[in-house]
Amino acid sequence: MKGILILLTMIFINTTLQAQTFKEWFRQKKTQKKYLIEQIAQLKIYLELTEKGYKIAKQGLTAIGDLKRGEFKLHKNYVDSLKIVNPKIANLPKIKWIGAYNGDVRNICSTCLSKNGLTEYLSGDELAYLRAVFDRLDSDCDKIMRTLEEVTIDGNLAMTDDERIRRIEALYQQTLFNLTFSKAFCNESAVLAAARMKEKGDVITGRALRGIN
């Protein structure tokens, strides 16, 4: 009888322990489920916030891109507008004078040697030097006229009106210098040739007066 009581007591205790264990297990499961639900809810909120943040960032980047494109377009429009020459500048008298004076310089360079008979009275080295100087002047005329075309024709250089005026003035001054120099250089060469021609004539005259052939 005593053994039966002990057995029943053990069964009761074991049953109680199992009941407590199952109860604890269910409570843990319930807690885990609640925690899992909370985690899912927090994850959902995080994803929603992330998506909103991404949309805001994307909109911001789009806005920045649009702004940059707008700024680039404005900048391009501004640069393009600077490539259009003001008609008042295109009709400046000095532009025609530059063309005319450069024509005079080229004419001097091409005719000086033959017109003044320099080839007969100057040495080979002197003539080579003269030709080199005239070639340099002619090349400078080409450069001036090309630059003048770039400055005064639409679509070439992006410049303000003041910048174009200053460039035209610089080309004009360079042309005047070339014209003055080419005239003086040719005249001095002609004077030298004339002096030698006179010297040669004096020698011939002196020899004739002395009866020397």
Q: What is the pLDDT of residues 32-49, one digit of tens each?
A: 555 555 665 566 665 565
49's enclosing H/E stretch is helix 2-82
pLDDT over 60 at 20, yes or no: no
> What is the reported pLDDT for 17?
47
The pLDDT tens digits of the residues spanning 45-97 come to 655 655 655 565 556 556 555 555 655 565 566 667 778 888 999 999 999 99
> What is the reported pLDDT for 118?
77
Kindly list the domain boundaries of the chain, sorted by start residue: 40-82, 86-209
Alpha helix ranges (H) inside 83-160:
87-90, 93-115, 118-121, 124-152
Residue type, 31: T
> What is the reported pLDDT for 91?
93
% of residues, the chain, pLDDT over 70: 57
> What is the reported pLDDT for 104?
96
Q: pTM of this prediction?
A: 0.61
- Which of 87-96, 112-121, 195-204 has the least mean pLDDT? 195-204
The position carrying tokens 């053990």 is 10
Determine phi and psi for 157, rounding to 5 degrees.
-110, 140
> What is the reported pLDDT for 53?
57
Q: Which has more confidence, 13 or 102?
A: 102
Whether 150 contacts 156, CB under 8 Å: yes
> What is the reported pLDDT for 176?
96
Size (the chain), residues = 213
d(CA 135, CA 149): 21
Computed over every residue of the chain, the mean pLDDT equals: 76
% of residues, the chain, pLDDT over 90: 34
Q: Which has more confidence, 178 or 10?
A: 178
> What is the reported pLDDT for 47?
59
pLDDT over 70 at 1, yes or no: no
Whether 118 contacts 130, CB under 8 Å: yes
Alpha-carbon dihedral 172, 178, 184, 189, rounded to 10 degrees = -160
The pLDDT tens digits of the residues spanning 155-194 come to 888 888 999 999 999 999 999 999 999 999 999 988 888 8
> What is the reported pLDDT for 114?
83
d(CA 185, CA 168): 25
